[in-house]
Structure 1
Amino acid sequence: MTSTKTRAISLGDRGALIGFCIAGVAIAAYITVFSIIRIIELARGVDVPVLVEFIGSKTPVDLPLSTGDSISVGLDSAVITAPELPMIAIVPGIIAQIAQILTIVIVIGCLILLARSVLAGRVFSRRNTVLVATAGVTGLLGFAAVRFFDNMLANATVARITGNGVENAVISVEPFTFVLAAFVFALTSTVFVIGDRLQRDTEGLV
């Protein structure tokens, strides 16, 4: 005989999960609005601020000192205001913002659905495992795509403004951050898979 009983959670835990859901909706709304404003700014293509990353060892600049002298330092990043963006910069910039909206909405949506399931007393299930896996894969691929297209925007902007006179950073994704996120996602997914299996085995004994 099997049982599908759900387990009640405490009032404090319930309040924390509800607060998490409200915060998730607020974050998704804020980032969506911010990204839409950025898309409009990019589409205009005039006086657009763009964050650019440089190869510090190959981009020295003179830093003025209070004594009137200066020292040479490597420039890692800077915000450049482009008087006019070329289409080759506008398109990837807009794609990056769209990818950011989709990634945030899907990840937070999956986590809110997971929280609702937990509020109903069901923590481990195949549905929750799918939600965790979907959020993890979307987050990894989505943020990597945002980084990729943002770098395309930055590189195209520098090339247009400087006439290819400055060697800025190549298109890349931070490896440590990506590997760490992948590890956390794999660990969380494994926990839910094992938890679901253990729960079904336990219910089968009831």
Structure 2
Amino acid sequence: MQNSVQLEPHLSRADRVSMWILMAAGAAIAVTTAVFAGIRIAEVLGNHDVEVLGEFTGTLAQAPIGPDGALIEVELDRAVLTVPSLPGAAVAALVLQQLAVVATIWTLVTTLGLVTVSAMRGRTFSRRNTRLVGTAGIVGVLGFAAVPFFGNMGANAAFAQLSQGTFDNVIMAVDLFPFVLGAFVAALAGTVFAVGDRLRREAEGLV
């Protein structure tokens, strides 16, 4: 007598088409990210009139948003700074920021793409896929922290350069809520795949 257990869900043609579309979109995002990062790195390495996004805290400015363009006092949150040139450490930080963006996006697209291909072949839950999902989660969380970290280093150097060290606006800001939420989602996904793999192995043992 033969016993059969369906360990993996059957994928319909529509499911497979959707997966191919998602993988194509991921590849397009990865390539686009690399292109824009390359453009930004070239701009930074040129080190002439470099635009840097700076964050402010408690800094007042005037904006022409009143009647007939009258100046109204506002509090700056962020602004683009144009710096004639940056010190070497700031240039390195901004280049590392773009490399971190590319490394994060490419790792996420590659690992999740491999998981998708495995699912299309009828094996969603496995130790390999659990490791891939775990890698994607860890890299995503680290990348989320590294990108603004290097960006803040470059911005603070820009403030110091423009003000000749007289404007104290040193900020190292990372929005904690998305960071914690991303870490939770990564941990949850890793747990789901680990449990799914264990249940699959247990079910295979019953066949």
TM-score, length-scaled by structure 2: 0.92
Unpaired runs of 5+ residues, structure 2, are: none
**Counterpart in the other structure of 2:44:** 42
CA distance in 2, matches of 1:176, 1:112: 27
**Counterpart in the other structure of 1:62:** 62
**Counterpart in the other structure of 2:197:** 196
Residue identity opposite 2:45 in structure 1: A
Query: Residue 10 of structure 1: which of 6, 9, 12 is its match?
Result: 12
The change in CA–CA distance for 1:66 and 1:2 in structure 2 (over 3 A counts) is same
**Counterpart in the other structure of 2:21:** 19
CA distance in 2, matches of 1:5, 1:31: 37
> Mapping of 1:112-151 within 5 angstroms?
112-151=113-152
CA distance in 2, matches of 1:5, 1:191: 15
Q: Contact (CA 8 Å) 1:3, 1:204: kept in 2 or not?
A: no
Residue identity opposite 2:47 in structure 1: G
**Counterpart in the other structure of 2:34:** 32
Work out the percentage of aligned pairs sharing the same amino acid: 45
The change in CA–CA distance for 1:145 and 1:68 in structure 2 (over 3 A counts) is closer
CA distance in 1, matches of 2:169, 2:71: 23
Q: Contact (CA 8 Å) 1:51, 1:78: kept in 2 or not?
A: yes
RMSD, aligned CA: 1.9
- 1:54 partner SS: strand
Q: Contact (CA 8 Å) 1:147, 1:173: kept in 2 or not?
A: yes
CA distance in 2, matches of 1:195, 1:59: 51
CA distance in 2, matches of 1:82, 1:47: 5
Q: Contact (CA 8 Å) 2:144, 2:179: kept in 1 or not?
A: no
Unpaired runs of 5+ residues, structure 1, are: none
Query: Which of structure 1's runs of 4+ aligned residues deviate more than 6 A?
Result: 1-5
Residue identity opposite 1:78 in structure 2: A
CA distance in 2, matches of 1:13, 1:169: 49
Residue identity opposite 1:14 in structure 2: R
Q: CA deviation at 1:47?
A: 1.1
**Counterpart in the other structure of 1:90:** 91
> Mapping of 1:67-82 within 5 angstroms?
69-82=70-83
Q: Contact (CA 8 Å) 1:2, 1:203: kept in 2 or not?
A: no
Could you give the per-residue CA deviations for residues 24-64 of structure 1, whole angstroms, max 9, x where no partner exists? 11100000011011111100100111111111xx2011233
Residue identity opposite 1:86 in structure 2: P
CA distance in 2, matches of 1:35, 1:11: 36
Q: Which moved more, 1:42-51 or 1:63-72?
A: 63-72
Could you give the per-residue CA deviations for residues 132-159 of structure 1, whole angstroms, max 9, x where no partner exists? 0000001111221111001100110111
Q: CA deviation at 1:172?
A: 2.3
Residue identity opposite 2:121 in structure 1: A
Q: Contact (CA 8 Å) 1:42, 1:48: kept in 2 or not?
A: yes
